[in-house]
Amino acid sequence: MEEITMNNKPKILYHGSGIEITDGFIRVKSAYLTRTGEDITAVFALSDFVHAKLYAIMRLVADDGKISPCERDAVYIQIINQEIPKKAYVYELDSDGFQQDMGGSYYCLTDKKIKSIIEIDVMQEIKNGKLKVHVLKKEFNKP
């Protein structure tokens, strides 16, 4: 069971990435808040490890960068990357300093120190059926 803080925010949040970070910090970057579209410079994280893992993997699997909204165990893409990197990463972060976005993700306006790193074997996730990859023809309409 996950540990919750006084304001119902989990103590640990997860940041998924296809990039190995070696300096110990997730750095703020330009993005936007999910529901409002407001531009923001922040570190984003999720309370759900599985969702963070999927986020880390999905951008590595798509060759054209076009990814549809995903299900808990599936990603829908238009072109599969023929050279999928071997590893994706999920970084555990302390939730101190994070605020919740209306879309359910969390954001922090400062760089965040990494508590631990979980390496994900991308091809093993696909082979074991933990991630289903659906290649679509023209539109992002689920099969």
Residue-wise pLDDT for 55-91, tens only, equals 888 778 776 655 655 666 777 777 777 788 889 999 9
Residue ranges for the chain with pLDDT beneath 70: 1-7, 34-35, 63-72, 137-143
Question: What's the confidence (pLDDT) of residue 72?
Answer: 67
Cα(100)–Cα(44) distance, integer angstroms: 10
CA distances from 23 to 45, 55, 85, 114 (A): 18, 21, 20, 9
Do residues 106 and 100 make contact, with C-beta atoms less than 8 angstroms apart?
yes
Question: What's the confidence (pLDDT) of residue 1?
Answer: 43
Q: Give the three-class secondary structure for 132.
A: strand
Question: What's the confidence (pLDDT) of residue 70?
Answer: 61
Question: What's the confidence (pLDDT) of residue 3?
Answer: 54
Sheet (strand 29-32) strand order: 29-32, 39-45, 106-108, 99-100
Record the pTM: 0.79
Cα(78)–Cα(74) distance, integer angstroms: 13
